[in-house]
């Protein structure tokens, strides 16, 4: 049982950890709740499946998937900053747009990769090892990026947009950059999941934002702080920790239909834990 839980945790936690890294950019860095990610996750999976079945090498499908995801994020930023659409509504609108785009791309509700080569079958390595490697590399790159001058400006934007504007950096630049990076990473996660499960489904991105938020919130409760190192560590710890809790819950007898309820309970519990910790710190 322990071996199965560990393998499942590393596979699923690492793959969705990449999506959580993307959500980190919007949720924890600029405090933008972007529902576009539900659509861009499926978009990444759809593009990966289409290109692989068309004869592309599985390792080459990540770049087109990330570019498409980045374009989706830029479109959301355009709606919000240039057209004045509310943050939440702009993400919802793009999620609806991407649902139709994904259906058009696939031509039907799902695409199979059962008879195709994937990055996992070609590598000769265990899937969890490949996915963990992707997560660690991308987490390292995210850490380095957040320490750059641009990354520092992004982190400062949520606390003081006026200060960032006084430096000559527009809101459009900050929001667009964060959403582009976020949705590119989420689309890459979608392309990995499609290859891992050997199919793409129109509903595979449903709940991506919530599951990624759960990972970020759990991680930040375990690894508090807003330094680049702590933010990235929180995502890695939260993604794997979340999958451990889910796997244990399912093994304990929870039905798959209880999955979203379990996620909601976990989010509420860890948000409450964080609030209590801040209250105790203030009293101490």
Q: Do 197 and 95 meet the contact criterion of CB atoms below 8 Å apart? A: no
Q: Do 151 and 164 meet the contact criterion of CB atoms below 8 Å apart? A: no
pTM value is 0.93
Residue 32 Cα distances to 8, 87, 96, 277, angstroms: 30, 7, 18, 24
pLDDT of residue 1: 61
Task: Give the right CATH number for 2-283 from 1.10.3210, 1.10.3470, 1.20.120, 3.40.50.
Answer: 1.10.3470
Query: What one-character DSSP code corresponds to residue 199?
Result: E
Task: Express each pLDDT in 62-115 by its tens digit.
Answer: 999 999 999 999 999 999 998 989 999 999 999 999 999 999 999 999 999 998
pLDDT of residue 160: 83
The residue among 166, 189, 169 whose CA lies nearest residue 178 is: 169
Query: What one-character DSSP code corresponds to residue 204?
Result: T
pLDDT in tens, the chain (284 residues): 677 778 878 898 999 999 999 999 998 888 888 999 999 999 999 999 999 999 999 999 999 999 999 999 999 999 999 898 999 999 999 999 999 999 999 999 999 999 899 999 998 889 999 999 999 999 999 999 999 999 998 888 878 888 888 888 888 889 999 999 999 999 999 999 999 999 999 999 988 888 888 888 888 888 888 889 999 999 999 998 888 888 877 777 777 778 888 888 888 888 887 777 777 776 75
The residue among 68, 101, 47, 58 whose CA lies nearest residue 183 is: 68
pLDDT of residue 224: 84
């Amino acid at each position: 049982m322990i071996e199965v839980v560990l393998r499942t945790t590393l596979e699923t936690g690492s793959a969705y950890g990449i999506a959580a890294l993307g959500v980190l950019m919007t949720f924890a860095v600029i405090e933008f709740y972007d529902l576009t990610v539900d659509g861009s996750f499926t978009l990444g999976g759809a593009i990966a499946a289409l290109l692989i079945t068309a004869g592309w090498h599985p390792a080459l499908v990540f770049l087109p998937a990330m570019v498409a995801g980045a374009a989706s994020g830029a479109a959301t930023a355009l709606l919000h900053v240039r057209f004045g659409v509310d943050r939440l509504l702009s993400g919802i609108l793009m999620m609806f747009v991407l649902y139709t785009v994904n259906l058009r791309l696939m031509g039907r509700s799902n695409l199979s990769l059962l008879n195709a080569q994937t990055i996992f079958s070609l590598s000769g390595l265990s899937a969890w090892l490949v996915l963990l490697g992707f997560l660690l590399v991308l987490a390292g790159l995210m850490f380095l990026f957040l320490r750059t001058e641009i990354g520092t400006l992004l982190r400062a934007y949520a606390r003081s947009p006026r200060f960032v504007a006084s430096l000559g950096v527009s809101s459009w630049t900050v929001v667009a950059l964060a959403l582009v990076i976020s949705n590119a990473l989420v689309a890459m996660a979608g392309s990995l999941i499609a290859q891992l499960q050997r199919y793409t489904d129109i509903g595979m991105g449903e709940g991506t934002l919530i599951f990624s938020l759960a990972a970020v919130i759990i991680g930040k409760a375990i690894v508090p702080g807003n330094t680049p190192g702590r933010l990235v560590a929180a995502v890695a710890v939260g993604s794997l920790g979340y999958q451990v809790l889910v796997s244990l819950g399912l093994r304990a007898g929870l039905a798959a239909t209880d999955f979203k309820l379990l996620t909601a309970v976990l989010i509420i519990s860890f948000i409450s834990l964080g609030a209590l910790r801040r209250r105790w710190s203030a009293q101490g």
